[in-house]
Structure 1
């Protein structure tokens, strides 16, 4: 049981790392253009809060046998901090103020949770308090793709829902869900079970609408090919009223 618990924790670390690194492409674009354009920094600040709370929850004096939760979420907190820092440097002034204010709120929430759990609570009460806080923000993080899923259904297109991101969301949620079940830890199992379900729904939507996208692309290609086949010089009429070849009169 302990071996299986450890294996799923390691696999969960690997898949979660992919999720945290997925926005690198976006940030390469932001840095290259020296502008955050229309991108929002809010998801990265909220993910940072989730990472901080989850990393705190996994510490031995809060929740025994969950150090793998701390390792990946501590890594995630560093990565998300870099994303937030880029926004604070390159975003327009109004966006900087919004992200800066939200960051201050996030750090305040984490500080309150850490302070209360250290000095006001002990043993199981500390674990329950920190576990509830971490679970709430984990569910919020996993729920962020809901707007994209709605867009997919509305447009019948998976253009804005990358397959690999959906796949690793599913694998990450599944890994930590099983990890939580094996460790009999509802504060890990419940939010990640939610993430597993949402990831599965994304994959189902992808396979439903990917076929339509492929069919539409095939029709577009065929139409373009048809136009190209008929795009030579038009037949011209010769002086005797007969069509000439190659446009020659």
Structure 2
């Protein structure tokens, strides 16, 4: 059986797992609601998720790929919802608000570019490169807490469900990219799978239980 024979199966599975990945954010947000705080968690996975999904949506529309369009409409909707929940429970609202403004300005800039670029191939190329970059940033976003994790020896602040799903999703979109011979899908999803695997290894090394108060106090001091 050659890869093209399983194209439909792989693309459908990639869409389903991607939607499940987006939905895994509900587990993270549920924890925020239960704790009434986001603690030291970072909003970057959600913010990068919005921008990444938005760029892939534009890429899918330009390429006329219904699978990419469908999954990223869902992605933008869910990631925006998670960001709202994060804003409600974070104690760093002003910082998050600044990040949101930057994100909105960037998206508006890209949308404006769509109306002035007449070369469809050039547009597809640049959207692909941007989408690749944001996908990698989305997957690597939890790594922004790497130093904190190493200091407190706890992975409590890392969104395990989202990282685990990132690994499966990257693997499937990588395979779909190989079938479609689309380097914009192959490269970021290969690297993304490796990054997600590195993050998952932290959960093997360190527990997901909260760090001891004495250790946190010594770090802050």
Which TM class, normalised by the smaller chain length?
A: 0.7 to 0.9
Number of equivalent positions: 205
What do residues 108-137 of structure 1 show as CA deviations (whole Å, max 9, x unaligned)? Answer: 211211221232232211100111111111
Is 2:28–2:159's contact at 8 Å kept on the other side of the alignment? no
Cα drift, residue 21 of structure 1: 2.0
Relative to structure 2, which stretch is displaced further, 128-137 or 1-10?
A: 1-10
TM-score where L is the length of structure 2: 0.77
Q: 1:53 to 1:209 in 2, by over 3 A?
A: same
Q: 2: distance between equivalents of 1:96 and 1:18?
A: 28
Deviations 1:23-45 (A, max 9, x none): 32332233345443333323211
Contact 1:9-1:69 within 8 A present in 2 as well: no
CA distance 1:160–1:130, shift in 2 (3 Å): same
Give yes or no for contact 1:44–1:80 (8 Å, CA) kept in 2. Answer: yes
In structure 2, the partner of 1:83 is 82
**How much has 1:158 moved relative to structure 2?**
6.7
Asked whether the 8 Å contact 1:87–1:96 carries over to 2, the reply is no
The equivalent of 2:216 in structure 1 is none
Are residues 177 and 163 of structure 1, via their aligned partners in 2, closer, same or farther at CA, if it must alter by over 3 Å?
A: same
**2:39 matched to which residue of 1?**
37
1:54 aligns with 2:34: no
Shift in alpha-carbon separation, 1:178–1:151, aligned structure 2, 3 A: farther
Change (3 A) 1:130 1:121: farther
Partner of 1:96: 93
Instruction: Please tell me whether residue 180 in structure 1 is matched to residue 177 in structure 2.
Output: yes
> How much has 1:146 moved relative to structure 2?
3.5
Unaligned runs of 5+ in 2: 208-221
Q: Pick 1 or 2: higher relative contact order, CA cutoff 8 A, min separation 6.
A: 2
The match for 1:140 is 137
Residue 151 of structure 1 and its aligned partner are, at CA, apart by 7.0
Alpha-carbon distance between aligned partners in 2 of 1:37 and 1:207, rounded to the nearest angstrom: 19
- Over alpha carbons, which structure has the higher Rg? 1
**1-side partners of 2:33 and 2:169: how far apart?**
28
CA distance in 2, matches of 1:147, 1:90: 20
More helix by share: 2
Mapped partners of 1:96, 1:58: distance in 2: 33
In the alignment, what sits opposite 2:116?
119
* CA distance, structure 1, for counterparts of residue 35 and residue 197 of structure 2: 35
